[in-house]
Amino acid sequence: MKTVNTTDTSKRKFLGGAAAVAGIAIAPGVLLQTVNAKPDNEAVSNKVRWGMLIDTNKCGDGCTDCVTACNTENGLTGFERPETDSQWIRKLTLKDKQTGHVQTLPVMCQHCETAPCVDVCPTGASFKREDGIVLVDKHICIGCRYCMMACPYKARSFVHEDLQDQKDHAPRGKGTVESCTMCVHKVDNGENPACVTACNKEHKAMYFGDLNDANSEISKRLKQYGGKQIRADLGLNPGVRYQGV
Amino acid sequence: MKLIRFASIDGNSNGYWGLMALLAAFILAALGSSYYMEHHGHHVTGMTNQIVWGLPHVFAVFLIVAASGALNIASIASVFNKKAYKPLARLSAVLALALLAGGLMILVLDLGRPDRLIIAATIYNFKSIFAWNMILYSGFMGIVGVYIWTMMDETVGRFNRLAGISAFIWRIMLTTGTGSIFGFLVARQGYDAAIMAPMFIIMSFAFGLAIFNLVLFAAYNGTRRELGDAIVKRLRNLLGVFVAAIMYFVVVFHLTNLYATEHHGVEAFILRDGGIFTQLFWIGQVVIGGLIPLALLYAPQLQGCRKSMALASVLIVLGGLAQMYVIIIGGQAYPLQLFPGMEVSSSFFDGVVNSYTPTLAELMLGLGGVAVSLIVVTLALKALHLLPISLADAVADPHHKD
Amino acid sequence: MVLWFRKNLQNIMLAAIAMLLATSVNVNAEVVAPVVPKGKGEQCVEPTDVMRKNHMEMLKHQRDETMHNGIRTKKHALKECIACHVQEDEKGQVARFGDDGHFCSSCHNYAGVNVDCFQCHADRPQELIGKGHKIKPHHTADFKDKAINKEALQALTEVSK
């Protein structure tokens, strides 16, 4: 396995072969992420299932670095109208009614294996990629909002007004529904989602990787320490797991 | 029972043209509202990322539910062979199509991208109950269209019963589909119940019949044709049974929820703490839409009184709209439970009761759908031989003795 | 099956557009071709006449491949079209979609064919975002007096043998 420094992502694709392997070395000897960059012309496959692990014990109280990074990366500028502005990721504060224990954690699209949004979408605009990432094909979204009714995680936003100056890697437009894409444009490029990268600068509470690869950091951690699903009772097998809740 | 003769209405009176103008004005207002909403985006409406279906959906679902119910009169005649209802079957079927058209117009014009309707009509995700509904709606239009043909053209009259049975089965499927839009929403506390489908069917019986009665009275009064007591009495009893049945389903629905601790939160919200939703439930749905109509329909002193029956029908419509409001908007106002047993807060309105204030544009869009339904019926009454020239007891009552 | 529908849908749309155009053909008009801004490179990814006729097919194919299969080859990607064809002028201004000076709208305004790309997609390269005037929502193109004539349509869409 070859380990490449973070800053070198652009070169990675020239390393050749079907799957150039890259990782991010945070400190000497500590490998936090192992991410496969596929060639541009290769379709994603279900051999991979992208997932995230969030360690709520490490998540900073009052820290919103992941939210800021998401907004910057995807150009979610908003109109100062919190009820209608899009939020792809948000920080939740939980307080146990019985014990008073308080904790915070980020919640975004949980990229379910059997996603209710995908089931209910009349046109198939809500869909799950082979590698487990749940997306909205805004080209065929009619803006009926049934997916927003069906999502158990309140993960989706409806674009309520005209947008200007969208990012070229994150097209978004009025009248369609959107949600966390797991930064699919970065993932396809062998990079981590923006929230994970931002979190790794200080708190290191978020891990991204391939749940199907037993040797990935995320799989090893999940195997060793376990990981909970939000609303596990619904049996949706989400790709985002939590520790410490 | 004598031979029933049908005739179109003249439709030349000032009243007729005044009604047409009024309805057209409402339709124009709805189109304008829709343009305004699509031009500026839905942030000019009351909807938010929390309440994603608003007042237009209340009207749309109400009309779609009422549409299948309006077909009941025809079904009772063709499927259950009750001759007394046969003369009203044509109006019943046309009203069903008209109500569905009005409801669908609202739904389409409230989409985020109504310009992409062709996508919705050509690409289906067959696991989506919404996609099934699109097939159910268009199928309903087709089957009821054929059904009307078999009623009005003697050369195909022998297929009438077949068409009637098909339409009856289809309408049961259609309302099952509409109820299941909510019944299949596993994650929301206010929905996720199989009883939604049969409850919507029984709601359709009452709402559809209430609207049918009002249209029937208006048409017979407006054209000064005779409407005998025998048929009116049947409709009156039928309506009362349907209203009582809705109340039964509502009681079962809430009792089941009240038994499960898991649902105590949402039940307390709807039944006790929900502010406008609680008021709409008790005052709108239960009292105005249920108890008062039952009293009006069954009070011995009022048995011959058509005004009381008309009033009951109006109240059932209002109560039905209240019920839809409580189901659709109340169900979204109650927060999603991501972490049961925890107090949750966030920048995205987690854990709080969501507020919704409908705007004028949404109201006009909803009323425009009603106007579309009524204008279709008004035009059809003039264009087609829908109404019997007389429904006097001597003509229309199979048990009448001279 | 979804793909079949999409292909079919496009054919239907094209037929509809062609019919609309046919009704507005003005045979006596002079043939005036639109002024199309030149791209950055020497040669486009496909021959010019192929691009003229089939660019929408390629964009749509690429769009579905990228969206659903994560294929991110650059050759037929909208982003690359924009990067090459939308440039700053001498004054440092960049044309927005809807302006006659914008590569896409130079022709689309002329032909009176609306496109539904730029409500969501960036109409200029990422490094130029922030430059250029604001687009007024819903007023992206004014098709008045822009009826195309038959010869111009032929000239634009004919593929050389």
Rounded-to-integer distance, Cα C92 and Cα C101, Å: 13
The residue range of the domain holding C101 is 77-149
* Interface list for B 22-41 with C (CB within 8 A): 39
Inform me whether the pLDDT recorded for C9 exceeds 90: no
Residue C143 lies in a domain: yes
Please write the tens of the pLDDT for every residue from B114-131: 999 998 888 899 999 999
C139 close to B (CB below 8 A): no
Chain B segment 277-316 residues within 8 A of A by beta carbon are none
pLDDT, residue C13, reads 63
pLDDT at residue B91 in the model? 97
**pLDDT of residue A33 exceeding 50:** no
Let me know if residue C142 belongs to a domain: yes
| CB nearest to A144's CB, from B50, B130, B185 | B130
Q: Which of residues 85-124 of C touch A (CB under 8 A)?
A: 119-122
pLDDT tens sequence across A204-224: 999 999 999 999 999 999 999
* Cβ contact C70–A131 (<8 Å): yes
pLDDT value of position B108? 96
Domain limits for position A229: 50-243
Residues 6 or more apart from B204 whose CB is under 8 A from it? B65, B66, B67, B68, B69, B171, B175
Q: Which helix (H) or strand (E) holds B345?
A: strand B342-346
| Chain A residues within an 8 Å CB radius of B344 | 92-95
The predicted structure's pLDDT at residue B121: 86
> What is the model's pLDDT at position C100?
87
Q: Which residue has the tokens 């009792």?
A: B255
Mutation site for C-interface testing, chosen from B118, B125, B128, B134 by largest number of C Cβ within 10 Å: B118
Q: Does residue A88 have a pLDDT over 90?
A: yes
Per-residue pLDDT at C39 exceeds 90: no
- Report the number of distinct structural domains present in chain C: 1
Domain segments of chain B: what residues? 24-249+357-396
pLDDT of residue B212: 98
> Given this model, what pLDDT does residue C10 score?
59
C116 CB neighbours in chain B (<8 A) are: 115
Nearest C-alpha in A relative to B354: A83
Residue C45: inside a domain? no
Quickly list DSSP for B213-233: HHHHHHHHHHHT-EE-HHHHH
- What CATH fold (topology level) applies to the domain B24-249+357-396? Formate dehydrogenase/DMSO reductase fold (1.20.1630)
The span from the CA of A185 to the CA of C70, in Å, is 8
Q: Each residue of B301-352: pLDDT tens digit?
A: 999 899 999 999 999 999 999 999 999 999 999 999 999 889 999 999 999 9
Alpha carbon distance B246, B235 (integer Å) = 17
In a domain? residue A30 = no
pLDDT, one tens digit per residue, over C44-94 is: 999 989 998 999 999 999 999 999 999 999 999 999 999 999 988 888 888
Q: Is the dihedral of CA C85, C86, C92, C98 positive or negative?
A: positive
Q: Looking at residue A1, what is its pLDDT?
A: 39
Which run of H or E residues covers position B101? helix B89-109
Q: Which residues of chain B have pLDDT under 50?
A: none
- Percentage with pLDDT > 70 across chain C: 65
Q: What is the dihedral of CA A202, A205, A206, A210, to 10 degrees?
A: 120
Mean pLDDT, residues A114-135 taken together = 97
Which tops the pLDDT comparison, C33 or B298?
B298
User: Where residue C159 falls among pLDDT bands split at 50, 70, 90?
Assistant: low
Q: What is the pLDDT of residue A15?
A: 40
Provide the domain count of chain A.
1
- Tell me the C-alpha to C-alpha distance, in Å, between residue B286 and each of A62, B250, B320: 46, 9, 10
**Of A80-84, A194-198, B272-276, C125-129, minimum mean pLDDT range:** C125-129
DSSP secondary structure string for all residues of chain A: -----GGGHHHHGGG-SSSEEEEEEEETTEEEEEEEEPPTTSPP-TT--EEEEEETTTSPTT--HHHHHHHHHHT----S-TTTS--SEEEEEEEETTT--EEEEEEE---BTT-HHHHH-SSS-EEE-TTS-EEE-TTT-----HHHHH-TT---EE--S---S--TTS---TT-EE---TTHHHHTTT---HHHHHHHHHT--EEEEETT-TTSHHHHHHHHH--BPTTGGG---BSEEEE--
In C, which residues are within 8 Å of A131 by CB distance?
Answer: 70
CA-CA distance, B203 to B317, in Å (whole number)? 10
pLDDT at C88: 85
For residue B98, the 8-state DSSP code is: H
pLDDT value at residue A245: 87
Q: What is the CATH number of the domain that holds A145?
A: 3.30.70.20
